[in-house]
Amino acid sequence: GLHFDELNKLRVLEPEAAQQTAQLREECRAFLDKIVEFQKIVGSLIELVDQLAKAAESEKMKAIGARNLLKSIAKQREAQEQQLQALIAEKKMQLERYRIEYETLCKIEADQNEFIDQFIFQK
């Protein structure tokens, strides 16, 4: 079970098994290097996805805020419209009162003018 290698050193393993072991060791190192590189790539991808998720969440919150503001403005406009409608109704009622008062005053004026005319003609 003892063997000499290419440098004439005494070895326990057969030269072929030693060569295969060395080759396997190199393949394992290459595999580990690839795994480390893959982990770095995946780590950077995860960071990028996290950043994108945070940005999307931020934009979502901005959109929700804008939508709520829009609803608030719409409600304010609706309330303002109702106030203006109430003011219009009040002004219409006031206009109707003034119109009736005007008609009444016109009638009183006509009656007084008629009375004055009759009084002048009687003298």
Report CA-CA distances (Å) from 57 to 38, 49, 60, 68, 107.
Answer: 28, 12, 5, 16, 74
Which structure tokens are listed for 110?
């006509």
**Tens-place pLDDT, residues 56-79:** 999 999 999 999 999 999 999 999
**Band of pLDDT at residue 16, cut at 50, 70 and 90:** confident
**Tens-place pLDDT, residues 88-98:** 999 999 999 99
pLDDT above 70 for 37: yes
User: Long-range contacts made by residues 69-77, C-beta under 8 angstroms, separation at least 24?
Assistant: none
Averaged pLDDT score across all residues of the chain: 92
**Alpha-carbon gap, residue 87 to 121, rounded angstroms:** 50
> What confidence score (pLDDT) does residue 38 get?
97
pLDDT above 90 for 13: no
Structural domain spans, the chain: 2-90
Secondary structure (H, E, C), 53-98: HHHHHHHHHHHHHHHHHHHHHHHHHHHHHHHHHHHHHHHHHHHHHH
Q: Among residues of the chain, what percentage have pLDDT more than 90?
A: 80
